[in-house]
Each structure stands twice: as C-alpha cells, then as structure tokens.
Structure 1
Amino acid sequence: MSKGPQSRQAMAEIFRSVDKGDLLHAESLCRARLTDSPDDINLLGMLGAVLLQSQQYPEAEQLLLRTIELEPDFARPHEDLGVLYLRTDRPGQAVSFFEKAAVMDEHRGSVFRSLAVALHRVGRQEDAQAAQDTYLQLTPTAQSLAEAEKLRKAGDTKGAGQHCEELLKREPKNVAALRMLAVIASDDERFVMAEGLLRRIVELEPSNYDAMRDLGRFLADRSRFSEAIEVIEHAISLDATVAQNQLMLGDMLSIVGQTENALLAYDRCLDMAPDDPAALLGRGHMLRIGGRSDEAIASYRQCAAIQPAMGDAWWNLASLHGYCAPDEDVEQMLSTVDAGKLDPAAETGFRFALARAAEQRHEYDSAWRHYEIGNSIKRGLVKYDPVETEILHGKLRDVFSAELLQQGSTPVPAAKTPIFIVGMPRSGSTLIEQILASHSSVEGTGELPYVIMISTAAGGSRADNAHYPEIVLDLDASQLIGLGRSYLHHALTHCSTNKPFFTDKMPANYSHVGFIGLILPEAKIIDARRDPLATCVANYRQLFAKGKNQSYDLTELGEYYRQYVALMKHWDEVMPGRVLRVLYEDVVNDLEKQVRRILDYCGLPFEQSCVDYYKSERPVNTASSEQVRQPIYTSGVDYHKNYDAHLDELCEILAGS
C-alpha cells in the first residue's frame, strides 16, 4: 500500500475535497487518477468511500469489494462495506465485515461502534454490549459521552451538559455531543434549543439518516406531524433504499390518518427488509384499520413467527374482534411466559393476549388472572399520579367559572367546524364518530392531540412561570381566537375532504371542555358515556398503544372515573346546554332515536347512512375498529358481568357515579 509523491499529493487533494463536503469534485479526482492506475487500492477504496457518502451504493459496493480482493488485509474498505450494508439494511453482512476489520485493526474505535450497532440489529445483544465496551475503552470522546449519559440518567442534566460543552470546545462538530445536548434540552423542556441542536446536526451531516429520524421524532413528539413527515420524506428523496426511513414515514402517516399511504410506506420497507417486525406490525395495523382483517392476521402472525418474543404482535393478533387463538398458539405463549426470559413490556403483551384467548374459551377466572398480572407489570412501566389529576381538576373548576365562560370569545368564521367527542376510553366514542362520519357533511379524523398541545403551550415562556389552566385568566379575546385558529391549522392537516364538519374524538379532551368553549365557540361537544362498571372493566381489559395510564390499576381507574364524572358535572353547571351527553346503552337500545338526537344537536339533517354506519368503508384507527363495521349488537353491554366475582372493590369506589 506504499504511495509515491504524486499519489500522496493526489490523495491529499481528494481528502481536502471530502473535508469541504465537495463529494462531486472528490469523485471526479478519483476517477481521473484511476484512469492511469486502475488497480490502485487507495484510489479504489477512496472512490468507494466517496460514493458511499453520496449514497451511490451499488457502485460503492463493487469498488470496495474490488479493493478487498486486491488487498485482503486492508481494514478501511472492510469497515466502509460494513457501513454500506448497515445503511442498506443488511446487518448480517455488516457484522461479517466489521468483525474482519476489527481483527485487522483492533485499535480502530469506529469499527467497534458500528459493530455494536450491527450486532444489536441481528439480535446478538451480549456481543453488541462487548463491542460497545471496547469502543468506549478505545475512544476518550466516547468515554466522556458515556459519563455524560450516566449523569443525565441520574438526573444531573447540568453536569451532563457541562461534559458535552467541554467536548464541543475541542470538537465543535462532534455530532454525538450535539445530540446529547439536544436530549438534555428536551428533558429540561427547553424545546427550542433542542430543535436547534437537532437541525444543526442535520446541517453538519446532510446524509445522516439517524439524525433526520431524531429530528422527525422530536417534531412528532411535539405533535408537529406535517413537519416530521417533511423531514422523513426529504431523507427518502436523498435515498429511497433506506428501509428505516420508509418505516418511520409509515408510522408518521398512520398517525395523521393517511392509511393507504402509510401501508405503501410499510410495504416499501418490507420490500427492502422482508423480516422487519416493526414494519410487519405497522402493516397489520393499517390493514386492520382498513377493515382487511384476514390480511392483518397474516401480517401479525408473520411478525410473531419472525420475533416470537414480541408481545405486541401476539396482543394485536389476540385483540382482533372475533379472533380466537388456536391451542398451539396459547401453548407457545404460556411456554414463553413460563420461561421467565421476557422483558416487562413484552410480557405485558403476552399476558393481555393470553387473557383474550382465555375469554374466547369462556375461562374468565384464568383471563382475569392474566389481566391482573399484565396490568400490574404495565403499571410499573408508566407514569401516572392520581393526586395530580385531582389537583388539576380542582384548578380547572376554579379557573373555568360560569362568569369566565359567559364572556366567551367572538365566533370567527371558519371553513370547518369541529365536533369533539369526549369522555372515558371504551365508552362508545368510536361508534358515535362512525355514525357522524357516515354523514355527507362530516369527516372523521380520529383522536387529535392538538387541544392538549395548545393548552400546554398557551403560557409560552412567561417570567412568572404560570401554567395552564391559570394562564387562561390572562388571555384576551384576540389571544383566545388565535389559539382557536392554531387548533384548526393543525387539525385540518388530518382532513382530506371539503366537508364542513370534522370529528375529534380524543377522550382526554373532557378535561378541556371549558377551554374549547373559549377558543372555539362554534364547536360541538359530545360526552360519550357508558355504565361505570362496564367502562372500567373495558379499560382494564385493553392494552393501549399509548397513554391512558390511569387504566392499569383498578383502584386508580375507578377513582379516575369519578373524577371524570365530577368534572363533566361542573361543565354542565357552568356551560348549561353546551355539551350533549350520549349514553352507549341508549344508542344500543334505540339507534335511530339517538342518531336523530346527535344530528339535531350538530345542526345536521337526518341521513339514513348514519343509521347504516357499519356500511361505511372509512378507515377506523381505534380498538373498536372491527365492532363499528358491524350492525349494532347488545352482547357487549353486560360483558363485564363475567368478572363480577373480582369487582367488589371497584363497585364500592364507583358507587354513586
């Protein structure tokens, strides 16, 4: 691998071009030199590395393999090939080349860092940790970042930040340190700074797809879904062959209700990575939402076959309405649980799936035992403080008085009017939305996070550190109107038609009925209510994808229901006639009467299609997606009575609700 003066000079010029980010010039220089020296391994390897950076993967792979053929002991092309295989979702091949590179150059820290990632991707977790430990030993920078991460996890964000800032003084473009600072800023709710840091990383490394996904996730966590989708679509425009980008696009599109486009994204991911369990799971969800249950079952089953310890796959399969797990599946799940090797999140999915399987066999005591175990595990994984709920509800009652709400704000003409469906989860809200969305003037958009997002952000960065709901008292009419417009701006990104009404069925919006009344005076609000005991048991039987953390302890759940009822009573008192209460049992017993009542409240003419709601082919993204594709049925009304023997304490808590 010796080089003469001219070769060294040429390589130096190529390196300078790469450092400046001028990959096209570097590529041109390499190709020009290779015309005279077609088997120069340094030039071949460098051109392969340049093409790797510019996402020209097929030719890069060919050149790097040629370099290794000419010089089998050259570590760098082995490492570059490993990176290429990681980026193109071939982690098994990546491991092979990283391991060879590590033998050839045992002091090359970047090899061990990438090897750890590849080993993790193929499921070799112990080996991945060993590679990561070697990387930390070889790299002082990595050791500093590891110490910062320890401090962050211990709650010392200030100390962690100082470690990163010291590192950035030496290495101003250290992406790992910038990312750590972004995480710290996000932990401290300094979201503007966190976003700036994430965007800086993308600016420094325009082809760093991990960085783009970090930014996309950050934006999605702030409910800025359209921006998150733009970021991921930009990554895909640079290189459509990265499976993880397609996966994340599918996840984002599914959130905003673009079911068909999400399904296409998951399919593109699976074309590149046929065994990706997350993509199979997402694909199953989209098929389920679209009413294609048989295909959803096949996708969930394939996911469980590929990753048998994936609790989410078994739970989603078991939770399909009418699905009965075969005996061999039940035996496999029991055997997996009894082995005691599942992590808590996975075991939760298995327990809920086993409970549903037991229900299908009318073994209700066995089902309840699995629900108790599964809920107990899940409760340990989530954050929920019932005292905080009680305090918040007290503040809401104090702030949103009849006097404040009677002042209101001036209605502002808008292209669309929201119909909010609020209440407890599993109380018939999906049925009400399906009824409304079957009307020619209403579009169903599912559960939207924007009332919660806007209420939380309404205080901005006030010097007095005031928060919602107290800050509402200081908002004038123009500010309230502005918040209403902000809600509509975000919500309308979920609408795909010109219909004048749309639904927002986020259950937790019951806490914000007064706020909605102030910022959206034209909005309609429906309280979906169900028998207290039936509601709580239905929640306890459901493993929610996200949120609803009050559901995993029966005592807390009963107390939460009482809090909900008390707050809705307050809204009735201070906003008389503003909220329409619809009882699930009344809908079941006299569908047409309740349909007419709902439509009258919304100012909509009667349409028979609302009674025939089950004929609608619209996607439904909730746990009740299969039920609302069937005519009304009564079997679910008293289902909770199968568990009467276990409900004495809950009955006492709910007495009088």
Structure 2
Amino acid sequence: MPLKKKKNKKIKKSQLTKLINVSDSVLAPTVQMPLQTVTQRISQAIENGNNNQAKHWLLQVIEQCPNEEEPPVLLMNLLSRNREINEAELLAKKILRLYPKSAEVLQTVAAFYRGINRIEDALDILNSALPVAANKCAIYRNIAFTYTTMGNTEEAIKAFKQALAINKRDIYAYWGYLRLDIKNFPEALIEDLQQVLQACSNDKKLLAAGSFTLAWYYEKRDLQRYWKYLHIANGAVDTSAEYISTAGQNNHRLFSAEHLAAQPAAQPPEQRPVFIVAPPRSGTTLLEQILGAHHLTKGTGESLAFNHAVNETCKAHRLTHAIKDWPDEHMPEYAELLNKSFLRFPLIKEAKGHVVVDKSIENFKFVGAILSAFPQAKIIRLRRHPLDTLLSCYHQFFESSYDQLFNLDALANYYLEFEQQMDYWETAYPNQIFRVKYEDLVGQPEGIIPELVKFCGLPWDDACLSHHTNVGTIITSSDIQVRQPVHTKAIAKWKHHEKYLAPVINIIDPVYPLDQY
C-alpha cells in the first residue's frame, strides 16, 4: 500500500498552551515553551527530514504529556519509516497498553506489524479496533490490505466492499479492490470513482491513487486513456526535482576481491546471506520466492536490514552515509558492526539457522560493504529489459520516498545509475556476482533455477520449481503476480507502448544500446 499521510487525533486545544521543558539536544540546556510551539517544531523537523531532532523532541513531549495520543503515533510512524525496528516494537507494546481503545493507535501499530511480517498480530489488532473506531471504513480497508498481503483474495475483496459500502469516497478502497480483480471490476464503481476524483483534485495523493486505479482499468480496454490517467497519476506525485545520482558514493577503495578478510571455509547459514540486486519491477519478488521456497532458506523481502546496519554503524562511529569517506584503518571494525547490526534486525533474527534471501531496493549501493561484512554472501544481479522494467515502474504507485519512480526522465537516469554502479561491483568482485536475465528465468526455469541454487551453495530442492504453491506474506507491489506459476506474459510488453516511452529510450539507448540487451 502506498504511503498516506496520517490524520492523527489532534492534541486538545486546552493543552496547546501548556508549558513543557524541552532541550534541542541531550547536552543543551532545558527551556520552557508552549506545547503548541514544540509540536510546530516537530512538524517542521519531520518535513525537513531532520528525523533525529524530531525524535528527540517527541520523546520529551511523550514523557510530559502521557495522556496525548498524537505524539506517540507520530513517533511510531517516524521509527517505522526509519527502520528503527527495535525501538518501534518497544513503543508499540507501550502505546497498546496506554491506549487499548484508540482506533488511531491500533491502526498505527497494525500497519507497523504488517510492515515487519507480523500479519496475524496486525489482523487481530484491526479486528479489535472495529468496535471502537469512528471511521470503520478505514479499518475495513486496512483489514483488506492485510488479507491482500496474505494472499487471501476472497476475504480482501469482501473487506474492500464493506469499506466502500460505508464510504464511496474512499479512493484507497477502490485502488485495493481493483488490483485484485481488474477483469471483473464493476463499471459502475469506475463511474463512481471518476465523480469522486473530480472533488479531490487538490489532494495530490488521492488524485494519484484514483488515477492509477483508472489507468489500470483501461490498460487492456483503451490504451490512450491508460496513458492519459498514467500521466495524471505520476504527475500528481512527481516532485519535478532533477534526479541526483549517488552512483559511486559507496565505492570505497578497499572494496575489492583482494581486500576481503580471510574467513574459515565453513560458515553458519546466517553468515551466507543471498542478496538479490535489481531495479524495482525487475522480477526480484519472483526470484526471492523461488529461492525462498528452498527448505534451507528464508526470504525476508525488502527488509532494508542492511540500510539499518549502515545507519547503526554511522551512529556508533559518527560517520557519514557516504561509505567512500570511511577511514581505511577502521574498516574491519565497521565491517564487524555491519555484520552484527544486520543479524540483529528482527526479520533477520527470525531466519536464524536459515540462509537469508533479501531483495531490498537499495542493496545495489552497498555491495562492497555487504561483502566486507559477509565475505561469503552471494549477490545475484537480476536484469530485465530496461523498457519493460521502466514501463512497469511507471505503472506502479510506489511509496512517496521514491520520487524518481514517478517521472520518465528520472526513471531512465535512475536505471543508468543502477547499471553503472553494478558494472563497478562486477569489476571489483568478478567471481561473487551472478548475473541472470529475467527473460531467461521465466523462459527456461528448469535450466536457470538449478544454476542459481548451486551458486547460493545450496543442495537442490524441487520446491524451487513450484514456489507458487507455498507463497507466504508479500508486502510489495508484486503481491498478486508472484502467487502465479512462472510465466512469460510480462516479456516485451514495452513494444505495445514504444511511442510513449520515447523519453526513456533517448536517455538509455546512447549509453546501453537497447538492441544489444
């Protein structure tokens, strides 16, 4: 589900003038100021991306205003977004005790649990929120999204219908319902959605969600309308900011095969993780499910566990996130902390005794750091035809933190960055990166999948050829497609849309000729 701004229960007006003691940092002096001023500063800090400052102020507000629901909900969302999972879990338990009948708190904690694969817990919490929620439509919608991640399409559609029966203006309910059953989606609901969209043209998120829904409906019915609504949807989210390349920012001079630390020949499974590296919509969820079907592995989806490890290392040693600037003499120490922080991440801890299969979207930036922390890790570079990849990206409603995915020019430049970064890593580690084409994976699964399993250092398991019969929770935009057997239907879809993809072709073709893919 795309990110949506939370409409938190507001702090009572009578409390806004209350004076509280706050400091700008742990060492700064404490001063008194009205709660209203502090909340304004928190909002500004979050808007500016100064999350640590916002977190520091929120903790002080929560301590001095224990009866207010909004601050812990804000902090819960902040910790979840920053993947500070351990702190978020502790806070979730605390606010469930403090506000057991708050629908806002229950929804927030349920969304967090769904994000870390605690699906049954999320569902239990949402069901407990129904009797106390004023906005039952939102609860039913979130129940539906939770069933969707479980692959329970029948219950998901039922819950989406219940949401729309309560409120026909709930655009996210249309969005979720249509994704599950485009072929049989009632035309009357499309007419209702078009009317609803006319009334919310000023809300960019709702305009995007509704326009994506209409685009998907018309994809196989009217190509011109499909692209009309696709442009409206992406344009509503696109920041129009120039895409800033970060290629090379993590290319430390010590990242090469020669500098890998000597390791014992045999390592426990948790020290041999598999990282699938590819742009979004390249087939990473499919490949993760194929490898994750093996009895010795555990798929962790887009866990962002290594991002978490980098953040923890930066905090512990006061480093910047530009790994190329980390001092040479301390790299072994940093690699050790990266290793420990990754293994402590909740989703990774749950996989203990298994080989982790991770497909986080930003892993391509950290390949050198990954192999320094885990010298026996396996890197799989998955490639799909660039035009199919980028068409599929433009077709999807991604989380708002990936602004480059809502603009065709920026998408093309993002693709170039990815390819150039991975070319660099393949040069640095020629024997530790396995390159595979999506088209070969789905076209010749009986030949390619055994090669991949062997590369990962695993014995053969027939389950890898029938992954779709045992798919668990999926929290990505591929949550529906991956539950099907391997197929070739998504190959060369770009040929039907070539004239609309001219901006992408003009950027990519001079650098990576498309006829040589």
Alignment TM-score > 0.5, same fold: yes
State whether structure 2 residue 103 is matched by structure 1 residue 243.
Answer: yes
Change beyond 3 A, Cα 1:239–1:210 = same
State whether structure 2 residue 208 is matched by structure 1 residue 348.
Answer: yes
Paired positions, count = 496
State whether structure 2 residue 292 is matched by structure 1 residue 437.
Answer: yes
Give the 3-state SS of the residue equivalent to 1:606 in structure 2: coil
Q: Alignment partner for residue 487 of structure 1, among 329, 342, 354?
A: 342
Give the 3-state SS of the residue equivalent to 1:476 in structure 2: helix
Report what 1:207 is aligned to: 67
Q: Alignment partner for residue 439 of structure 2, among 576, 582, 585?
A: 585
Report what 1:424 is aligned to: 279
Provide the C-alpha distance between the structure 1 equivalents of 2:174 and 2:202, rounded to a whole number of angstroms.
Answer: 13
Q: Alignment partner for residue 263 of structure 1, among 112, 123, 126?
A: 123
Q: Alignment partner for residue 604 of structure 1, among 453, 458, 468?
A: 458
Change beyond 3 A, Cα 1:186–1:352 = closer
Report what 1:646 is aligned to: 500
Give the 3-state SS of the residue equivalent to 1:443 in structure 2: strand
Change beyond 3 A, Cα 1:581–1:451 = same
Question: Residue 367 of structure 1: CA displacement?
Answer: 0.3
Q: Give the 5 Å matches for 1:210-229.
A: 210-229=70-89
Q: Alignment partner for residue 409 of structure 1, among 232, 239, 261?
A: 261
Change beyond 3 A, Cα 1:446–1:641 = same
Provide the C-alpha distance between the structure 2 equivalents of 1:424 and 1:565, rounded to a whole number of angstroms.
Answer: 9
Deviates more, 1:195-204 or 1:178-187: 178-187
Report what 2:475 is aligned to: 621
Q: Alignment partner for residue 372 of structure 1, among 200, 214, 231?
A: 231
Q: Aligned letter for 2:296?
A: S
Q: Alignment partner for residue 198 of structure 1, among 48, 51, 58?
A: 58
Q: Aligned letter for 1:284?
A: A
Q: Which whole-Å deviations, capped at 9, do the CAs of 1:129-182 have from their partners, x for residues lacking one?
A: xxxxxx9xxx8x49x99xxxxxxxxxxxxxx98xxx99x85x56x544444455
State whether structure 2 residue 175 is matched by structure 1 residue 315.
Answer: yes
Provide the C-alpha distance between the structure 1 equivalents of 2:262 and 2:141, rounded to a whole number of angstroms.
Answer: 46
Structure 2: state its 5+ residue gaps: 1-7
Give the 3-state SS of the residue equivalent to 1:647 in structure 2: helix
Provide the C-alpha distance between the structure 1 equivalents of 2:500 and 2:386, rounded to a whole number of angstroms.
Answer: 15
State whether structure 2 residue 326 is matched by structure 1 residue 472.
Answer: yes
State whether structure 2 residue 367 is matched by structure 1 residue 507.
Answer: no
Question: Residue 240 of structure 1: CA displacement?
Answer: 1.8
Change beyond 3 A, Cα 1:512–1:384 = farther
Report what 1:532 is aligned to: 386
Report what 2:4 is aligned to: none
Change beyond 3 A, Cα 1:625–1:499 = farther
Give the 3-state SS of the residue equivalent to 2:436 in structure 1: strand
Q: Alignment partner for residue 287 of structure 1, among 147, 150, 158?
A: 147
Percentage of matched positions with identical amino acids: 23
Change beyond 3 A, Cα 1:574–1:364 = same
Q: Aligned letter for 1:649?
A: P
Provide the C-alpha distance between the structure 1 equivalents of 2:195 and 2:99, rounded to a whole number of angstroms.
Answer: 43
Change beyond 3 A, Cα 1:211–1:646 = closer
Q: Which whole-Å deviations, capped at 9, do the CAs of 1:386-445 have from their partners, x for residues lacking one?
A: 2x21xx214344x3466x552123548556132111111110101101101111011111
Provide the C-alpha distance between the structure 1 equivalents of 2:78 and 2:47, rounded to a whole number of angstroms.
Answer: 12
Report what 1:303 is aligned to: 163
Question: Residue 230 of structure 1: CA displacement?
Answer: 1.9
Is the contact made by 1:411 and 1:520 (CA closer than 8 Å) also made in structure 2? no
Provide the C-alpha distance between the structure 2 equivalents of 1:262 and 1:191, rounded to a whole number of angstroms.
Answer: 26
Question: Residue 508 of structure 1: CA displacement?
Answer: 2.0
Q: Alignment partner for residue 411 of structure 2, among 557, 565, 584?
A: 557
Q: Aligned letter for 2:234?
A: N
Give the 3-state SS of the residue equivalent to 2:435 in structure 1: strand
Change beyond 3 A, Cα 1:651–1:604 = same
Change beyond 3 A, Cα 1:497–1:233 = same
Change beyond 3 A, Cα 1:280–1:462 = same
Deviates more, 1:610-619 or 1:275-284: 275-284
Provide the C-alpha distance between the structure 2 equivalents of 1:497 and 1:394, rounded to a whole number of angstroms.
Answer: 31
Give the 3-state SS of the residue equivalent to 2:130 in structure 1: helix
C-alpha RMSD of matched pairs (Å): 3.2
Give the 3-state SS of the residue equivalent to 1:424 in structure 2: coil
Change beyond 3 A, Cα 1:308–1:495 = farther
Report what 2:5 is aligned to: none
Change beyond 3 A, Cα 1:193–1:555 = closer
Provide the C-alpha distance between the structure 2 equivalents of 1:181 and 1:407, rounded to a whole number of angstroms.
Answer: 46
Give the 3-state SS of the residue equivalent to 2:274 in structure 1: strand
Provide the C-alpha distance between the structure 1 equivalents of 2:204 and 2:457, rounded to a whole number of angstroms.
Answer: 49
> TM-score under structure 2 normalisation?
0.86
Q: Aligned letter for 1:376?
A: G
Question: Residue 314 of structure 1: CA displacement?
Answer: 2.1
Q: Alignment partner for residue 430 of structure 2, among 539, 560, 576?
A: 576
Q: Which whole-Å deviations, capped at 9, do the CAs of 1:100-132 have from their partners, x for residues lacking one?
A: xxxxxxxxxx97x37xxxxxxxxxxxxxxxxxx
Question: Residue 280 of structure 1: CA displacement?
Answer: 2.6
Query: Which one has a bigger Cα radius of gyration?
Result: 1
Q: Aligned letter for 2:259?
A: Q
Q: Which whole-Å deviations, capped at 9, do the CAs of 1:10-66 have from their partners, x for residues lacking one?
A: xxxxxxxxxxxxxxxxxxxxxxxxxxxxxxxxxxxxxxxxxxxxxxxxxxxxxxxxx
Question: Residue 190 of structure 1: CA displacement?
Answer: 6.3
Is the contact made by 1:223 and 1:453 (CA closer than 8 Å) also made in structure 2? yes
Question: Residue 644 of structure 1: CA displacement?
Answer: 2.3
Provide the C-alpha distance between the structure 2 equivalents of 1:521 and 1:179, rounded to a whole number of angstroms.
Answer: 46
Q: Which whole-Å deviations, capped at 9, do the CAs of 1:328-367 have from their partners, x for residues lacking one?
A: 1111122233456451110111111001110242x11110
Question: Residue 286 of structure 1: CA displacement?
Answer: 1.4
Is the contact made by 1:289 and 1:625 (CA closer than 8 Å) also made in structure 2? yes
Structure 1: state its 5+ residue gaps: 1-86, 92-109, 115-134, 146-159
Give the 3-state SS of the residue equivalent to 1:445 in structure 2: strand
Is the contact made by 1:440 and 1:499 (CA closer than 8 Å) also made in structure 2? no
Q: Aligned letter for 1:344?
A: K
